[in-house]
Chains A and B, each alone.
Chain A
Amino acid sequence: MALTTVWFGLIAILWVGYLVLEGFDFGVGILLPVLGRTEAERRAVIATIGPVWDGNEVWLLVAGGATFAAFPEWYASLFSGFYLALFLILVALIIRGVAFEYRSKRPDPAWRAWWDRAIFAGSFVPALLWGVAFANIVAGVPLDRAHVFTGDLLTLLGPYALLGGLTTLGLFVTHGATFLALKTTGVVRQRANAIVGVAGLVTAGLAVLFLGWTQVQNGDPGSLALSVVAAGCLVGALLANRLGHEGWAFAGTAATIVLAVVVLFTALYPDVLPSTTDPAFSLTITNASSTQYTLGIMTVVAVIFTPLVLLYQGWTYWVFRRRVASPRIADSPPAGS
């Protein structure tokens, strides 16, 4: 297999890792005001992702860095073209990251309420915009001969892209809910389980529409099969939730996101950013890529270090595998208060 295809696959894997992992972080952030009705409950909700959210976000940085290294033209066209959308995502990620770290530093309820709003908004905006971005990548954007994006923010907000945004938003909320059902106790757990049912049904409708549209537009038999399995996983997650199998429900939403991202990358290949201006201007894995030499070095590095990262991140999840109980947290004040 050509190295360009290998790197297309590796970048897909990095995005899969990012969206599955930070996907539930985003869901947890969006559900914070719904599930955390008291301070103790809110702290329990946030504590479920406390040790891992930052490590999850690094998947994004590595996906961005790997795109820069392996497909510089893709990185350049995409990041300069999606300028304002990425800017909004950056601002959201900044306030959200700071909010996680700073909210407990003062006992003042107004201070904490302010950061809770930041966590909500900082999770909601990227959850929506990543779907918009990926839908645009798959559908293509106006690129000129030099691969420079010639549209504006409104170009990126077409109906297919907005549907993509609502789909990721729904998927992440559902995924966050199955995660919280698995990681909390008592009333928070009950509420999370109830939300899985509602959010899951809405999301299933959105996902079928979005994946169907993708299929009509860019599909082949392979992506059709994957889309059907993805939908099946989501339905399976909802059934598992009904039957009280929280672990399986979480595995189901995780598998749905994995497959949905794989569908998008399958539909995209061998393009990396199609041009709607003229197909001849499209960026492909060939004309966007780095040299064989650079790809070869990057491959060696990735082969050695990616398993290592998976190993120690997996270990972190093992260390913090226990449920977080909100009443217990309520007993003792946070550090420094």
Chain B
Amino acid sequence: MSLSALDLARWQFGITTVYHFLFVPLTIGLAFMVAGFQTAWVRTGQERYLRLTRFYGELFLINFALGVVTGIVQEFQFGMNWSAYSRFVGDIFGAPLAIEGLLAFFLESTFLGLWIFGWGRLPRWVHLATIWITAVGTVLSAYFILAANAWMQNPVGFTIDQAAGRAELTDFLAVLANPIVLVMFPHTIAAAFLTAGAFVAAVALWRLVRHGGPDDGAFRTAASVGATVALVAGILVAITGDTSARQMTAIQPMKMAAAEALYQTEAPASFSILTIGSLDGRQELFSIRIPDLLSLLATGDPNGQVEGINDIQAAYQATYGPGDYVPYVPVAYWTFRLMIGLGLLAAAAAAWLLWSLRRGRRPVGRAAVAVAVALPFLPLVANSLGWIFTEMARQPWIVFGLLQTSAGVSPGTSALEVLLTVVVFTLLYGGLAVVEVGLLLRRIRAGLPDAHPPDEGSDLDEPLTFAY
């Protein structure tokens, strides 16, 4: 098998982006949860909130570091591997990226530095503000990058300059208010809170079932806060995901038809929870189906007509000329339902945890251990699957309806060069993942740090020791 520069560039984008996005949602959600714990400490003066702030703050920083360094690659690789794409979309796509840097990255990095090194050096309220500003920075960043991605899903506010061979911006507000980003943003942020809530709860649960001891009170608090956040966020993920599915059916019908492996147009259409048959879903041996559900998901009407892949393919050929407009169906089909399934499972596990903590009860037994181990991973995997779904089921388009992925790759870059970078990034990222997980486990094992109530306005250099 020989891989072309195009295939390798796609693999590279997939690997580096999925990897980057393992850290991003946890960063976003955890920034707010750490800020929440610190606010509770500043307002109540209770030491356990300070200790939780520092404990989860450390885990947050370990995670944040990898999000930052892998983010640099994201900013560069559009130009490196996708220069033809960059030339075509730069007039539109570059602006949200630049604004993300100017508004969000500066805010996050500068105020996080102040938070890390500002313990005891900044007045208490100012120091508290630094973590909140960091958290706001992460959300701003999410908005602009999602607006950029939404434009690839549903190009708006542009005109095509045939002479220059590129898309040109005509309405920036339309790009920022793309209907896709208005749904994708709450969906992503809710998923970030589901991820962080699950993480906070699972770590606390692990401490409760495996260690126990004087810090149980603080970890009970963390477990209920985390599980509550995860449960509420899980419900919001489901609501926004439902809106998103209906929107996608209208804007990219092929994506949703592929998600269900629906080849023939049906009304009403059923939803298959699980199908055993050929990988691309053309033949099925066994299937669990819920009647009318797909119609309901896609159109909001249980009897609504859902277009099948074959009809859409014919329509696209009429619009865009001869070609294959069908994404790789097995990936679309399985990522879509696994994303939903794992997300629901995470919310259910959070609900179980809340129930088992009720009125001073203590979660015990194998179920508790299993939840503690599985809970952090369920949303992480669901997040990745969601992105793999939305990007791969848009294929063959890199910008829907305007530019195909094969036309976006850098023309002057050789397969060997891309292969080299794919291999090195993959090895490097793999190694860093091992180091990161090792550090997280080490810190979790160490338990809550001592409080050391930082003295305000201190001129000592002692606070520096908190960080490095």
Contact = CB atoms under 8 A, between A and B. Distances in A.
A312 B428 contact: no
B155 to A, nearest CB: 15
Contact of B439 (A52, A87, A102, A146): A102
Interface string B365-382: 000000000000000000
A325 B462 CA distance: 10
A324 B461 CA distance: 7
B80 A79 contact: yes
Contact of A65 (B98, B117, B421, B466): B98
Given A87-B421, A148-B411, A76 B84 contact: yes
A90 B412 contact: no
Contacts of A294: 91-92, 94-95, 168-169, 172
A197 to B, nearest CB: 28
Nearest to B424: A91
A79 B113 CA distance: 29
A50 B117 contact: yes
Given A54-B112, A79-B76, 19 more contacts: A51-B113, A54-B68, A57-B72, A57-B109, A58-B105, A62-B101, A64-B75, A72-B87, A73-B87, A81-B412, A86-B76, A98-B435, A105-B443, A297-B95, A305-B102, A312-B110, A324-B464, A325-B461, A336-B443
Given A55-B110, A102-B65, A320-B117, A148 B412 contact: yes
A80 B412 contact: yes
A83 B72 contact: no
A68 interface: yes
Contact of B94 (A57, A68, A98): A68
Given A75-B86, A76-B83, A102-B439, A302 B65 contact: no
A67 B93 CA distance: 12
Contact of B78 (A68, A298, A312, A322): A68
A104 B412 contact: no
Contacts of A293: 168-170, 172
B100 interface: yes
Contacts of B412: 80-81, 148-150
Nearest to B172: A297
B288 interface: no
Given A97-B69, A105-B439, A325-B461, A64 B106 contact: no
A245 interface: no
B465 A72 contact: no
B121 A319 contact: yes
11 contacts: A50-B113, A50-B468, A65-B99, A68-B94, A69-B90, A69-B94, A79-B83, A91-B424, A97-B72, A102-B439, A335-B465
Interface stretch (A30-38, A169-177, A218-226, A326-334): A326-334
Question: How big is the A interface, by class?
Answer: 35 or more
A215 interface: no
Interface in B430-468: 432, 435, 439, 442-443, 446, 449, 459-462, 464-468
Interface string B31-71: 00000000000000000000000000010011011101111
Contacts of A55: 106, 109-110, 113
A334 B106 contact: no
Contacts of B442: 105-106
Contacts of A106: 439, 442
A70 interface: yes
A70 B69 CA distance: 24
B166 to A, nearest CB: 8
B327 interface: no
Interface in A283-319: 290-291, 293-294, 297-298, 301-302, 305-306, 309, 312-313, 316, 319
A320 B459 CA distance: 10
A280 interface: no
A84 interface: yes
A77 B71 CA distance: 21
A94 interface: yes
Given A101-B62, A103-B468, A294-B91, A90 B72 contact: yes
Interface in A24-72: 43, 46-47, 50-52, 54-55, 57-58, 60-62, 64-72
B18 interface: no
Contacts of B68: 54, 97
A58 B106 contact: yes
Contact of A98 (B69, B86, B118): B69
Contacts of B417: 83-84
Contact of A329 (B90, B449, B461): B461
B96 to A, nearest CB: 8
B169 to A, nearest CB: 5
The 6 A-B residue pairs with the shortest CB-CB distance in the complex, in nearest-first order: A72-B90, A79-B79, A69-B94, A68-B94, A65-B98, A101-B65
A100 interface: yes
Contact of B62 (A100, A105, A148, A333): A105
B109 A319 contact: no
A78 interface: yes
Given A54-B113, A58-B109, A65-B101, A322 B461 contact: yes
Given A68-B93, A94-B72, A316 B101 contact: no
A233 interface: no
Contacts of A328: 460-462
